[in-house]
Amino acid sequence: MLALLARRLILSIPTLAGVLAVVFLLLYVAPGDPVQAMVGERADTATITRLRAELRLDDPLPVQFTNYVGHILTGDLGRSYITGRPIVDDIAERFPRTLLLAGAAMLLATISGITIGVLAAIRPNGWFDRLALAATYLGISFPVYWIGLLLIVLFAVTLRWLPASGFGRLEYLVLPALALGSRSIAYLARVTRGAMREVLSADFVRTARAKGLAEGTVIVRHALRNALMPVVTVIGLDFGAYLTGSILTETIFSWPGIGRYVVMAISRRDLPAVQGSVLFLSLVFVTVNLITDVAYRKVDPRVG
């Protein structure tokens, strides 16, 4: 296990370094002036020149990159051009909200997707199996932002059961979690169904049934346990994507997480905020993948 963790950690270093370099270069070649975004259109030339000098934006690009990497290695992600706050403080304030949304969406998707997949696999080609397949096709095909808008129209505008946006009590979490987890529900259901159908035809399942074990025991303890490998893969990848890519969902529902923070930083040309957030999210994604690898080993010790 320690050797596995060491290999994964070593392989993650070039990934994070590449993300750091690409994000830094893309932001500096993108159109727009961060100083102009800070001071507005009516600022005089002297003010703009002074701010560029203070922020060291007039330094050559290699010098700026070297300075930035030096700050990163000391744990300093810089300060926001717009708010003046340390990026670390902004991330610490907003990431728990994204984690809450991602965790709720993944929990909903895992329970719903696995349950639908198992029930569909038990009676293949039955009415529930056909209905589940049709529903999963739709769930995979529809984009998250479109599902989010439909949920708002139905449950917030028409039925008025839930708030359309915002952050606060539990009811504010329901619609964004359902919208974010909708695709994973569909995909987990299909993956679970396929894996369960393959496992249910295996010899060890027939042997368990021949021994007189209860059908629920055969399904849960024998079949489902051996069908979990592809399911764990989907859960790990999707949860990492939720933590790092819930930008559309957070924007639609005005959820004050790190995804919405990145959108606001990009629109304002807040370079330190974008760079720090993307680097942090890359680290989160690598960490989730590492945890997924450990889960592989727990499910199947043969994984190396």
102 in a domain, yes or no?
Answer: yes
pTM greater than 0.85 (yes/no): no
4 in a domain, yes or no?
Answer: no
155-191 residue pLDDT tens? 999 998 999 888 888 899 999 999 999 999 999 999 9
Asked whether the beta carbons of 118 and 196 are under 8 A apart, the reply is yes
109-165 residue pLDDT tens? 999 999 999 999 988 888 999 999 899 988 888 888 889 999 999 999 999 899 988
Overall average pLDDT of the 9-28 stretch: 79
Whichever domain contains 190, its CATH number is 1.10.3720.10
38 in a domain, yes or no?
Answer: no
186 in a domain, yes or no?
Answer: yes
69 in a domain, yes or no?
Answer: no
What's the confidence (pLDDT) of residue 157? 92
**Where do runs of H (alpha helix) occur along the chain?**
2-29, 34-39, 45-54, 61-73, 87-122, 127-141, 144-151, 171-200, 203-210, 215-217, 225-226, 228-245, 247-252, 258-267, 271-299
Residue 186 to residue 138: CA distance in whole angstroms: 8
Tally of domains within the chain: 1
Please give the residue range of the domain that contains residue 115: 87-299
